[in-house]
A and B are shown apart, each in its own frame.
Chain A
Amino acid sequence: MESNRRSFLKISGICALGLGALPVVDVLATSGQPQFLPNQKALVGKKWAMVVDMKKCWEKGKEGCKECLLACHRVHNVPDIGNIKEEIKWIWTEPYADAFPGQENEYNAANIKGRPFIVLCNHCTNPPCVRVCPTKATFKREDGIVMMDMHRCIGCRFCMAGCPYGSRSFNFRDPAPYIKEDELNKDYPRRERGVVEKCTFCTERLAEGKIPACVEACKCGALCFGDLEDPNSAVRKLLASHYTIQRKPELGTGPNVYYIV
């Protein structure tokens, strides 16, 4: 066939039309298929974060109040092994020197001595646990939450070595016998022996439009949850009006849990 400019342009035109029709074909092909949609009621954010107001916690809360801890562990079926070495924890308390090492001095130690600091997963901007996970069982969601896919966890515990905050717990044994039958939340799974678990900022509750269980449980409003990218969010307002500290910021992990001390 002799090729000339005219026939070349004709063929190009037909090809361009064909390519243009591709998206239409795609839409038609998927119209009969099942679809996956996010929940309409879900809370959406770009960078979820928490501000923990320890002053409020100590001043308004009762001595030894553990409402937030208990609420979280009850909602997520976290077992109470009763053995510090095999302890499973999503949110817990640490003394100042352990939560903020290197930031203490002998004089400030007096007013915060023996005071419990609420600590949890920092949902880091640059999470080391995600970087070291060989199976991508732990990953960073688009809204900033460092999430676990228990189905993919092989229990290698690299993430536990990677996390500088001790936010991750390993199931050395089957946790089922250590969860009280009457406290079992039947809407949420347990974990099995050989997987690592941690706080997920209550992704399952956010998907239903609820705030995290610990925030909901705190009666003195010491915990505040919100979107860092939203300038009108409650966390941004707290951060703008208070001096806050983070845990081990010098490590470059970009922790997203802030503390008012």
Chain B
Amino acid sequence: MRMYNAKQIIPGLIIFLGFVTLPFWYNLGRATPAPDPKIDTPVIQKMAKKQCVLPKAEMRTGHMQLLNDWRTEVVRNGKRIYVATDGIKYNMSLQNECMRCHSNKTQFCDQCHNYAGLYHETEPYCWTCHIAPKENK
């Protein structure tokens, strides 16, 4: 089989591949540090058993679902108490309950959200309305 115009096509393909993979070359050796959400807030440090409403793994993957369920129950069904599987009762509120312990929004929420490209105050847009606790930066 014979290739016509190979002199133009092959360099063209190489240049094209180079352009397409440019983002990889551009970021080579400049890895963004992995997120490291901190839970060393005063309230959490005082807790004898450091336990969130669900186990850590479930919270990590499913907190958005949990928050959405909380919103539905509180706003639409008027139920405001969450009874966890261990029987502990929580007041379902992002602003008043989650942030009571996790009072370090920039170190806790934003760490992962920024890493995942969910930029500060655009996605997820919790904080356009909900008021984040004051932090000493």
Contacts and interface: CB of A to CB of B under 8 A. Distances in A.
Interface stretch (B5-13, B18-26, B39-47, B123-131): B123-131
A150 interface: yes
Contact of B131 (A32, A141, A142, A186): A186
Contact of B81 (A39, A142, A191): A39
Contacts of B77: 36
B79 to A, nearest CB: 4
Interface string A140-169: 011100010111000000000000000000
B80 A39 contact: yes
A33 B81 contact: no
Interface of A: 32-39, 42, 139, 141-143, 147, 149-151, 174, 184, 186-193, 203, 207
Nearest to A37: B81
Contacts of B71: 149, 151
Interface in B45-99: 53-54, 71, 73, 75-85, 89, 92, 95-96
Given A192-B125, A192-B128, A36 B95 contact: no
B51 to A, nearest CB: 13
B131 A184 contact: yes
Interface residues of B toward A: which range?
A: 20 to 34
B125 to A, nearest CB: 7
Nearest to B81: A37
A187 B95 contact: yes
A192 B130 CA distance: 9
Closest CB pairs A-B (n = 7): A192-B128, A35-B83, A36-B79, A189-B129, A37-B81, A36-B73, A149-B75
B95 A38 contact: no
Given A189-B131, A191-B129, A207-B80, A33 B75 contact: no
Contacts of B82: 34-37
A92 to B, nearest CB: 22
B79 A37 contact: yes
A197 B37 CA distance: 35
Contacts of A188: 95
